[in-house]
Amino acid sequence: MCLKKVALAGAMALLSTSAYAGCGLSGGSVRILSNDFPALQAVAAGAEACAGGGVEVSKNQTTEHRDLQVAALTANPAEYTTAVVANSSIVPLLNEDLIRPLDDLVAKHGGDLQKHQLITIDGKIMAIAFMANAQHLFYRSDILEQAGVAAPTTYEDVLAAAEAIRAAGIMKHPFALNTKTGWNLGEEFINMYMGTGAPMFKAGTAEVAINNEHGVATLNMLKDLVAYSNPDFLTFDSNATQALWEAGELAMATMWGSRGGAILDDEGSSEAVTSTTVLSGAPTWGGGSTPASTLWWDGFTIAKNISDEDAEATFVAMLNGISTEMVQANNDAAVWLIKGYAPGAAAQGVSATASSGTEPYPMLPFMGPLHTALGNELSDFLQGKESAEQALADVEAAYTTSAKEKGFLN
Amino acid sequence: MKHRSFFWFILPSLAAMLLFIALPIVSVFVQSLFVEHEQVLVVTENCGPFGCKQVTSVDVEATQAMVEKAPLGRFNGFGTYINRNHLAFAEVAAAWSSAQGLGDFAGKVMNLPFYKALLFTLAYTFIVTPLVILLGLAIALGVNALPKMLKGPTIFFSLLPMIVTPLIGSLILFWMIDAQGIIGASLQILFDDPDLSLKASPTLTWITLFVYGVWHSAPFSFIVFYAGLQTVPEDTMEAAMIDGATRWQRLRYVVVPYMTPLVTFIMLMQLMDNFRVFEPIVGFSASANATSLSWIIYNDLRGQDTQLFGSAATTSMLTIVGVCILLTPVLLRTWREFNRKAV
């Protein structure tokens, strides 16, 4: 009798595991391509839990994902059934028509998704967002107190505070942002320019519109800020600024929100730094009301060139990856957009930035060439080798040449 | 060797070269003549976590239809070659007509990405190549004079810079020259200048890259010269010694002339390699102050979410032309010497 019960219980347990293992699916192949950082590893692990019972789950998590995705999804059948993308990296997939609309799948399985997770383009749901990111201000409350300045809310305040810190002899280079020549520097210009509220392109065209007084003001603000940075600033990427912060060499910095968790944890830094680090919203500047930052989301898309069965399996597996349980287990790994998320200390900055009217990073087909042109042409100005007008003219010329080659301009 | 047997000997490598080198070059050349189709833009409404907005996007169907008709894109002839991001004929002409003096003209031309990269590439090639040859010879002579027991370990350690992957080697040095790194901090103390930064100023960045280039390539020329030194005829050396030649004279009049073919060989290899300088620029995050032709190609292909294949193909072709021009004098010389010997 007792033995029977045990056997029955064992069989039930087996049944329920296999049902759970397949996430209620009868079969299909799930192949994930994504960037590689802890939050996405947690998502992929959740999707992998659906493996079994005819469902296969494999993943390729690499920082080179952007360079793989177009070629991999162009193949038929596609190498990956889902590509995890951000606002900028979804653009080439849209331009080449490589991802499918998700409306049917959302209607069938997406009961737990929140409205703001649905990335809708031309009326069709093309991606499911699950986390957000933005650059915002980090500051050290103890050093600001020592210099006798209040917490800055504008970049003019940041400049004044940096000057006060320098004048008090506390630090010579109290401020930093990610100004490494290339993508990082381009991102800083775009963030700062967003604070002016001016458009980057002439409406309805691919003609760039930054070569004006807003562009000049943006450049001058960046130059004023880097005057308080270490002279190595043109080599500063996220890893460099995070290391400087954790070493206690900075009093204020504009860094990615996604670094908040790593900065506040007990690794790589001292108690004196982590206990006084405050994550606050992105500053405004020049009397504007829009914070000088851009909002980014990360989400998943489903490839077009795969069978409907695989697409459904992938969608269900990825939903399992972004489940409320996953969020509760990894609450501080990211700023999640998922139901059940309780924003912690590391999310303060991004939350504040998002709630104060920051614009999302422009999801425009010709944003990539402009970003590259900005990243490559601005370092001469920041080094004092050319005027702001010349730098902007260079950006415009470099962008126009690339955009012509891509067919956006004639 | 008969021409016929020579042909059969070389056929496999000839076929491989044709398939994997010549044909891809033809393909790259063809790609450099095309630009992408005109993208059909439409204004649509996009929604995301942060609200809805009117935005411009590509009409995928209309654009795909054009791509299917002509997959290579629009024929552009040599248009990409002369645009601003490459040879920039129009911009150079405008700079010439508007410039006040040669200095102003040079400044304006050096503001164009291709010429800026070309300047660094040439400077790197012409500074690093001779230094690599000289240093390699010096190390080879030094090692050759060592007692036998020490030779093995010394050769091994001298080869290390070449064994280390270029990107890793440059990254390690990049961290060492950081203001908090061992070299950077020592230099600051040595020169008593707390603001000294090898990464910030263009001149110091260039010098750092040159030093790295010499450090990385010297082992190659060292090992070639060292092998050459083993074959220097003993009797000529002894005859020179009996004639009372000093160590320096023996080096100058026996060893160096004997090694000339090796110098030509190393020069050819180094000119080609150094003209394609790339890894140290990425490793040292030096693109603000120094870019090279190879770096431009990389930037076109990997610098953004979308790739500029035509542009990258054009820079590749221009690099090949550049290598050909650089090698011509050396090759001509070798050819003449070969003919003289044949007679």
pLDDT at B315: 95
Selected residues 45-84 of chain A with any CB under 8 Å from a CB in chain B: 66-67
From the list A195, A174, A194, A296, the residue with the least C-alpha distance to A241 is A174
Distance from CA of B38 to the nearest CA of A (A): 4
| Best mutation target, B32, B291, B306, B309, to test chain A (most A CBs within 10 A) | B306
Tell me how many domains chain A contains.
2
Q: What is the CATH number of the domain that holds A141?
A: 3.40.190.10
Structural domain includes residue A11: no
Q: Give B199's contacts in chain A (Cβ within 8 Å).
A: 231-232, 234-235
Give the C-alpha separation, A286 to A272, whole Å. Answer: 33
Residue pLDDT, tens place only, B28-52? 999 999 998 888 888 877 777 767 7
Instruction: For residues A283 and A344, state if they share a domain.
Output: no
- What is the total residue count of chain A? 410
Contacts of B101 by beta carbon, 8 Å cutoff, 6+ apart? none
Residue carrying the six token digits 């956006």: A408
- What residue of B is the nearest CA neighbor of A64? B302
Structure tokens at A291: 């914070």
Cβ pair A407:B178 closer than 8 A: no
More confident residue, B134 or A63: B134
Cβ pair B60:A118 closer than 8 A: no
Query: Residue A16 — pLDDT band, cuts 50, 70, 90?
Result: very low
CB-defined contacts A:B, below 8 A:
178
Distance from CA of B64 to the nearest CA of A (A): 8
Contact A277, A255 (CB under 8 A): no
Contact A343, A351 (CB under 8 A): yes
Task: Please tell me which of the candidates B48, B195, B289 has its beta carbon nearest to residue A297.
Answer: B48
Instruction: For residues A276 and A317, state if they share a domain.
Output: no
pLDDT at A179: 94
Distance from CA of A236 to the nearest CA of B (A): 9
Residue carrying the six token digits 């177009």: A70
Selected residues 3-32 of chain A with any CB under 8 Å from a CB in chain B: none
pLDDT at A146: 94
pLDDT at A4: 52
pLDDT at A315: 94
Cβ of A357 under 8 Å from any chain B Cβ? no
Q: What is the dihedral of CA A99, A299, A108, A29, to 10 degrees?
A: 60
**Is A12 a residue whose pLDDT tops 60?**
no
Q: How many CB atoms lie within 10 A of CB A270?
A: 11
Where a domain ends, among A309, A325, A353?
A: A353
Provide the residue ranges of all domains of chain B, joining segments of one domain with +. 36-75, 77-111, 115-342
Instruction: For residues A207 and A151, state if they share a domain.
Output: yes
Selected residues 157-196 of chain B with any CB under 8 Å from a CB in chain A: 178-180, 194-195
Instruction: For residues A326 and A200, state if they share a domain.
Output: no
Contacts of A295 by beta carbon, 8 Å cutoff, 6+ apart? A132, A133, A134, A353, A354, A358, A359, A360, A361, B49, B50
- What residue of B is the nearest CA neighbor of A85? B305
Residue pLDDT, tens place only, A141-150? 999 999 999 9
Query: Residue A11 — pLDDT band, cuts 50, 70, 90?
Result: very low
Instruction: For residues A246 and A322, state if they share a domain.
Output: no
DSSP secondary structure of A49-108:
TT-BTTEEEEEEE-TTHHHHHHHHHHSSS-S-SEEEEETTTHHHHHHTT-B---HHHHHH
Residue pLDDT, tens place only, A305-318? 999 999 999 999 99
More confident residue, A368 or B54: A368
Instruction: For residues A276 and A370, state if they share a domain.
Output: yes
Structural domain includes residue A13: no
Structure tokens at A103: 């409306």
Q: What is the residue range of A200's domain? A: 134-293+356-406
Q: What is the dihedral of CA B244, B250, B252, B257, to 10 degrees?
A: 130
Which segment of A190-204, B34-48, B166-180 scores lowest on mean pLDDT? Answer: B34-48
Structural domain includes residue A310: yes
Cβ pair B73:A206 closer than 8 A: no
Domain B115-342, CATH 1.10.3720.10 — does that match? yes
Instruction: For residues A284 and A180, state if they share a domain.
Output: yes
**Is B83 a residue whose pLDDT tops 80?**
yes
Task: Please tell me which of the candidates B42, B195, B288 has its beta carbon nearest to residue A234.
Answer: B288
Q: Give A92's contacts in chain B (Cβ within 8 Å).
A: 305-306
Structure tokens at A283: 């500053």
Distance from CA of A169 to the nearest CA of B (A): 15
pLDDT at A17: 41
pLDDT at A85: 93
Q: Give B73's contacts in chain A (Cβ within 8 Å).
A: 407
pLDDT at A136: 95
Percent of chain B whose pLDDT exceeds 90? 48
**CB burial readout B55-85, b (16+ within 10 A) else e:** bbbbebeebbebeeeeeebbebeebbbebbb
Give the C-alpha separation, A405 to B306, whole Å. Answer: 12
CA angle centred on A119, ends A30 and A218, rounded to 5°: 120
**CB burial readout A222-252, b (16+ within 10 A) else e:** bbebbbbbbbbbbbbbbebbbebbbebbbbb
Cβ pair B111:A394 closer than 8 A: yes
- Amino acid (one-letter) located at A30: V
Ramachandran area for residue B101 (φ above 0: left; ψ -120 to 50: alpha; else beta)? left
More confident residue, A354 or B325: B325
Task: Please tell me which of the candidates B36, B44, B52 has its beta carbon nearest to residue A406.
Answer: B36
Instruction: For residues A389 and A285, state if they share a domain.
Output: yes
* DSSP secondary structure code for residue B294 in this structure: H
Cβ of B38 under 8 Å from any chain A Cβ? yes
When pLDDT is averaged across residues B318-325 and rounded to a whole number, the result is 93
Instruction: For residues A258 and A314, state if they share a domain.
Output: no
Task: Please tell me which of the candidates B36, B84, B200 has its beta carbon nearest to residue A407.
Answer: B36
pLDDT at B32: 93
Query: Residue B67 — pLDDT band, cuts 50, 70, 90?
Result: confident
Q: Give A231's contacts in chain B (Cβ within 8 Å).
A: 195, 197, 199-201
Cβ of B113 under 8 Å from any chain A Cβ? yes
Cβ pair A359:B311 closer than 8 A: no
Q: Give B284's contacts in chain A (Cβ within 8 Å).
A: 235
